[in-house]
Structure 1
């Protein structure tokens, strides 16, 4: 709620808002193949639909997972993977591109996500 409140105030002031990070909430409703038992998925919850106004954008690469379970070493197709890393943008920000860099979880239980944004100048 604190992040949302801060973001809303900034947008109301005319600022361009891009919030990025590990949300610890699923940003994209995708299902990647896995064999992970349900007992290891206690942490998986979706970002609520009403977390931000409907004209705000959730920005995530739907093709590459950004996080994996840590109950075992990474085994593709075995570990549960999903998307919890990404960005949320205000309506005055255009998403040019977003990409999750697939490193096969070699260095972490997360993959890096990069994005390119540009401002939208509305003239009346």
Structure 2
């Protein structure tokens, strides 16, 4: 399962200043803690063998300095965790009426399977003012040994959105796809999941915000695909992300499928679902799949 938890603040009543909304941080510490507890409970109840999480705050004004990483490591049932910091913003005195402040946040990969190796890969980011919103962008690669001598490579990603131009987006995709291709060529099993910050649906859509540009599927490495395209059973009617310009309104809020999985062809996806939780916990809903390793 992949779940962008929106620093445990972005529930369905929340709007974010960077999307034209009202808030630069959680509406209160109490609301954030309640939401964090509910997120942990939801993950436990779903019982995935592997969970990858994005936007986990370690320390930040926006999250009232609550260490969400520490909480998840204590409260989820997993035996193994890997954290990769991908956001380390200095004090941002904006918006002026309620500054966002400083933030340290990252990606969390969780499982009861033993991790044999984990690597943090720094992505190219903007060098303009927008770097203050995008500092230290990365993805992680965590490996699990398989009894046939191969490795299951779990990629946890959160690609750029705010302020990123086409060159930055393409550079990030090129780097990610090169790494995926190398693991596939080694004969390993690859699952790349998370927040792609691209519209994963095919076809042309109108009135799409700049941050929801279509994913260029032509960059996918040979012997890989989006899991929902090859799944034996797939439910992707529900979009995994909503706009944060206002509180969620089912009839008005723009939504898009940003979250999902790329899998190598030696993985059979038996079930795939974009879970419809009505953005109750985050501006993203989780995406869940079941799979089998072939060969």
TM-score (norm 2): 0.37
Q: Quick check: which one's strand share is greater?
A: 2
Structure 2: state its 5+ residue gaps: 1-173, 229-234
Query: 1:5-33, CA deviations, whole angstroms, 9 ceiling, x for partnerless residues?
Result: 1110111011011100000011123799x
Relative to its length, the structure with more helix (as a share) is 2
Tell me how far apart the structure 2 counterparts of residues 45 and 81 of structure 1 sit (CA, whole Å): 13
Q: Which residue of 2 aligns with 1:62?
A: 236
* Conserved 8 A contact 1:17-1:89: yes
Number of matched pairs:
115
Q: Check conservation: 2:267, 2:294, Cα contact below 8 A.
A: yes
Question: 2:18 matched to 1:18?
Answer: no
> What is the RMSD computed on CA atoms of the aligned residues?
2.0
Residue 269 (structure 2) aligns with: 95
2:260: which partner in 1?
A: 86
- Structure 1 residues 112-121 or 11-20, which shifts more? 112-121
Runs of 4+ in structure 1 deviating by more than 6 angstroms, as ranges, are none
In 2: Cα distance, 1:11 partner to 1:75 partner: 42
Which residue of 2 is the match for residue 41 of structure 1? 209
Please report how far the alpha carbon of residue 55 of structure 1 lies from its aligned counterpart in structure 2 after TM superposition: 4.1
Alpha-carbon deviation of 1:62? Answer: 2.1
Unaligned runs of 5+ in 1: 33-37
| Cα separation, 1, equivalents of 2:186 and 2:240 | 32
Alignment CA distance shift 1:2-1:58 (3 Å): same
TM-score, structure 1 as length reference: 0.83
Distance 1:111 1:52, change over 3 A: same
Greater Cα radius of gyration, structure 1 or 2? 2
Higher mean displacement: 5-14 or 40-49: 40-49
Secondary structure (helix, strand or coil) at the match of 2:290 reads strand
The one of the two structures with greater contact order (alpha-carbon pairs below 8 A, sep at least 6) is 1
Q: Report SS of the residue matched to 1:72.
A: coil
